[in-house]
Amino acid sequence: MNQKIKALVFDAYGTLFDVHSVVSLLEELFPGRGQEVSRVWRTKQLEYTWLFSLMGRYEDFWQVTARGLAFACRALHLDCSSAQQADLMNAYLRLEAFPEVATVLAALKAYPLAILSNGSPRMLVGVVESTGLTGTFAQVLSVEAVKIYKPSPRVYALASQRLDLEPDAIGFVSANSWDIQGAGAFGFRTVWLNRTDQPGDELGFPPDITVRQLTDLVQLLRP
């Protein structure tokens, strides 16, 4: 696979950046409920991206994330003030990178590296800067440019266009099985980062490679 790959494109949320690193703040605000709130928040955040896309509507990921948070608090019967909501939303600008991310990206720097994400440009700039990864990526690409969410082929086409590469020359890395399926359907070479040994989605486009940790990429994709 590595002999055909000319660039590596990474999903952001759940792949490079830990969306559940907000749990510590959630625990401060809602003791004993942090994990639960984070889980519902993330689930509804993703559901809303798919629903907006199917409805032919678009709101940026910041607003979608805020809607997901509002739903989670309402569904779990938690009072969340405007100030608390603002603190939680701002935490998304400072999500933690998974521990191995900086080392792995440095080891793969012979490839052009890119992010392709549902995140809005402001959100992606914030999290890249806060994790010390400024300058690591040749491109940081947001669905904002096409105003539809993954797994629309228009999103994956954005990476192919901006990197000026055919789809099968791009290695796409994501921890989200549905994202891998969408990227595979578009024609990317796909690497599923399956950290917790989950079953893959049954959509007909299985990953080319499955790894349990990002560090496995270094040997598999070393140029």
Residues 6 or more apart in contact with residue 54 via CB below 8 angstroms: none
The yes-or-no answer on residue 197 being catalytic is no
What is the CB neighbour count within 10 angstroms for residue 22?
Answer: 23
Dihedral Cα 111, 137, 121, 81, nearest 10 deg: 110
State the Cα–Cα distance between residues 56 and 50, nearest whole angstrom. 10
Catalytic annotation, pick one of 11, 60, 164, 201: 11
With CA atoms as reference, report the closest residue to 93 among 19, 27, 41, 42: 19
Alpha helices in the chain (DSSP H): 23-29, 34-54, 61-75, 82-91, 101-107, 121-130, 153-163, 177-186, 216-220
Query: Do 146 and 60 touch, CB atoms closer than 8 A?
Result: no
Which structure tokens are listed for 220? Answer: 């598999």
**Can you say whether the dihedral through the CA atoms of 75, 76, 81, 87 is positive or negative?**
negative
- How far CA 190 is from CA of 8, 150, 167, in Å, comes to 10, 15, 10
Catalytic positions, please?
Answer: 11
